[in-house]
Homo-oligomer: A and B are copies of this chain.
Amino acid sequence: MSPSSTSSSVQENCPDYQRVTISGDYCAGITLDDYDQAAKNLFKALLLREKYSKLAYHRFCRTTSKFLRSAQNTTWSEEDEVLPDMCPCPEAGEDPYCMDNIPKDLNYKLKMKDGIVYVYDNEEALKQNQPHDLPYPDLETFAVELSHVLAMTADGPTKTYCHRRLNFLSSKFNLHEMLNEMAELKELKRVPHRDFYNVRKVDTHIHAAACMSQKHLLTFIQKTYQTDAERVVLEKDGQRMTLKKVFQHLNKDPYDLTVDSLDVHAGRQTFHRFDKFNAKYNPVGASELREIFLKTDNVVNGEYFACIIKEVARGLEESKYQHVEPRLSIYGRSPDEWYSLSKWFIDHKLYSPNMRWMIQVPRIYDIFKLKKLIPNFAKMLENIFLPLFEATVNPQKHKELHVFLKYVSGFDSVDDESKHSDHMLSFRSPKPEQWTSVENPPYSYYIFHMYANIIVLNNLRKECGLNTFQFRPHCGEAGSLTHLVSAFLTADNISHGLNLRKSPVLQYLYYLAQVPIAMSPLSNNGLFLEYSKSPLKDFLHKGLCVSLSTDDPMLFHYTKEPLMEEYAIAAQLWKFSTCDVCEIARNSVLQSGFSHQDKMHFLGENYLKDGPEGNDIRKTNVAQVRMAYRHETLCNELNVGEPAEKLLL
């Protein structure tokens, strides 16, 4: 595991480069006791994430896993590795909506208990309370493990240690850059036919309802009015309204509409105002137009929304190298949401090879409860997850949902993280069935219950030979550090992660475990953090696995290619080299929900391997020198912690 041992196998496809080696005492500036304590803590936290990841069929960094095995004096083997299972693209000529060959119904019985769906082989097993053998997690264990990791983020010696290692990583990269910048560039110049423009990039964090530009939405509305003015598009207070009537009611002439009057772009007014930001989703400040044009389930059966998304998809297919994973909402108000969503997907033929779908669940139990739509939190969870289990065990009964789920990457948890919660998750927290107050559960409570259902579901689906899902919540955009701890355990990867800059321990843990972070500096600039203060450059330099995503092109971007705009601005302002931006693009593919086959096609056959071996420069345009540096640096960081840890075991 030492850099010298790995570099030999690499020699062949990695040019020699100038290495920075530090000799002498590895824990200078910190006492041995403190060092031991820090190493022990970090080791424990990594083991925990590994456990949680394996249960959920999430990827866990191979290098880190190898280190953990080695520290435990066991051997790592590829067979023990748990990997997600994503549906490959339909082959050319194959119908993506094909409903032949759907597996037989298993007629398993399903029942929610403590907010988690339990699976029973039959009625008898259900009666005897003998669930199918799947990992059913419990809130108590999670609460205890969460508090362990939380405690270590506040532990003095661990903080000092991580802070020093992060500073070291920063300085080391600066040296690497100075010494090897030209060597990296030279490698890239030699790569035939591949540059920043034709490496694959996935916009892994983008909301479907804002995935078009403001100008695109405007043009679409005007175009639609020309043909559909007399069509009934809205039902309001029992009255059926045509598009013409809607605009009369709004006192607007669609022809005169401008991006100014549309008013969906974030401005100075939205900074630190999530409420105003959310209101921007309403064109012309009117919820009517959002209802008509940006919803899947409305009077026109989501036809307009589907058309806009298909236009976005055609643009991506033309660009060839850009991909997106738009987020669609499932609220948990009613169990029908899934059927209506999958019907929308199938009816409007929304499949695109450049798209995979993410499901976002807004954390708005309190609103539903207040409106008396649901009796308790468990009901919301049931509405969200039970249909998925149903479609998994009885796919013949839920063909549309079965097909749609093939193209779903996973789940996101969304809302304003800066909202404070009075409740603090603990092992004494009420179970979802008992959560009947109008108060909203805290972030970690949501996260655990989504994660818990996803792992049961993934294990069940794996058994049935179906694709698994990733859990990829919004996390660390604002709010408490607990969010980042919860996601460290439960998430495959996260969106935002801004608050990692506030905790050296968590930042270092996200580094060691290489938890991917999809960052959106332009969105942050409009909402929570000025562009110049974004930690993205710092994170990238240190070696955290960061990527770039747009979040909401409709609200933040100006040009016809929002993802390119995001990359361009980052490259311009942070003076990123081609190697930097291509590394970011590679990270975005890795963390996406595209299939193993797609990833082999996009990144090279060995993409699962760590270090230069796993990199095909002809596809990624990332220099092998950079890959070797990242790999050796990570190995070095893990080994710095190792000897002390070995003593402890």
Contact = CB atoms under 8 A, between A and B. Distances in A.
A79 interface: no
Interface residues of chain A: helix, strand, loop or mixed (majority):
helix
B559 A259 contact: no
A625 to B, nearest CB: 14
Contacts of A568: 557-559, 565, 569
B193 A260 contact: no
B560 A560 contact: yes
A184 to B, nearest CB: 11
A577 interface: yes
B531 A573 contact: yes
Interface string A240-277: 00000000000001011111110100011001000000
A148 interface: no
A289 B350 CA distance: 45
A559 B571 CA distance: 12
A196 B189 CA distance: 39
Interface in A514-560: 522, 525, 531-532, 556-560
Given A181-B268, A267-B577, A573-B531, A259 B197 contact: yes
A621 interface: yes
A461 interface: no
A215 B559 CA distance: 17
B564 A259 contact: no
A621 B260 CA distance: 10
A173 to B, nearest CB: 14
A284 to B, nearest CB: 9
Nearest to A182: B269
Given A565-B565, A575-B267, A256 B192 contact: yes
Interface string A159-185: 000000000000000000000010001
A564 B575 contact: no
Interface of A: 181, 185, 188-198, 215, 253, 255-261, 263, 267-268, 271, 522, 525, 531-532, 556-561, 564-565, 567-569, 571-573, 575, 577-578, 621
20 contacts: A185-B260, A189-B258, A189-B260, A192-B256, A194-B258, A195-B260, A195-B261, A196-B260, A260-B578, A267-B577, A268-B575, A271-B575, A522-B572, A532-B573, A556-B572, A557-B568, A558-B567, A559-B565, A560-B560, A568-B569
